[in-house]
Amino acid sequence: MDKTRKLQEIGEKIKTCQQCPLYQTATNPVPGQGSASAQIVFIGEAPGYWEDQKGIPFCGAAGNLLNKLLSEINLKREEVFVANILKHRPPDNRDPLPEEIKMCTPHLKEQLLIIEPKIIITLGRFAMNYFLPQAYISRMHGQLKQILWQNLNLALYPLFHPAAAFRRGEVMSQLKDDFLKIPQIIEKIKPLELKPTQKSLF
């Protein structure tokens, strides 16, 4: 079975998932979108209003900013894969709860193991803390980390969430600067034999 079909099957599982109560208040599940062979996977926090309405990740204002930033480094949405830690919208866009993350992230794990990306770009602290539980986004943004995760050698590149960039001008500037470094970072990434120095929280 090819990667595209495997991702579609995970998407079907997510549509019927009732592991946590979020499915009761969400309009649509948001499994993820993009290429099954993507070298780059972007991971955000959780669906917002428009994502919940359309079932598509990053399709609101934050998504428009993400698309613009991608175009500035000559990438298209269909060339990458975009997903979230949670697959259903939390009520009123509240922060994800630890138990919700624990119950939902097995779907994300399956997706990443299928895609096998060269680099994971986390958007915001919740996505970053899934891989680097003790890290602070204010200190880690724009810094490349090489980790061994689920037997995959991964390059992890934390960035501020695009939604946060709308709230603070300095965050917008930092996000843009960090984003423009992505092509150079991809060129530098090489397979490494690593010991598991970093562990996922769940």
Per-residue pLDDT of the chain in tens (202 residues, 90 and over written 9)? 799 999 999 999 999 999 999 999 999 999 999 999 999 999 999 999 999 999 999 999 999 999 999 999 999 999 999 999 999 999 999 999 999 999 999 999 999 999 999 899 999 999 999 999 989 999 999 999 988 877 777 899 999 999 999 988 899 999 999 999 999 998 887 544 344 444 443 3
CA 50 – CA 195 distance, rounded (Å): 40
DSSP H or E stretch at residue 182: helix 182-188
Assess if residue 61 is contained within a domain.
yes
Assess if residue 195 is contained within a domain.
no
CA 89 – CA 72 distance, rounded (Å): 29
Query: Residue 14 sits in a domain of what CATH number?
Result: 3.40.470.10
pLDDT at 148: 83
CA 77 – CA 135 distance, rounded (Å): 28
Residue 131's domain spans which residues? 3-188
Number of domains in the chain: 1
pLDDT at 189: 78
CB atoms within 10 A of CB 144: 15
Helices 98-115 & 3-15 angle (0-180, nearest 10): 160
Assess if residue 79 is contained within a domain.
yes
CA 87 – CA 139 distance, rounded (Å): 27
pTM (predicted TM-score): 0.90
Assess if residue 201 is contained within a domain.
no
Q: How would you label 23-61 residue by residue, b for 16+ Cβ within 10 Å and e otherwise? A: eeebebbbbbbbbbebbbbbbbbbbbebbbeebbbbbbe
pLDDT at 190: 59
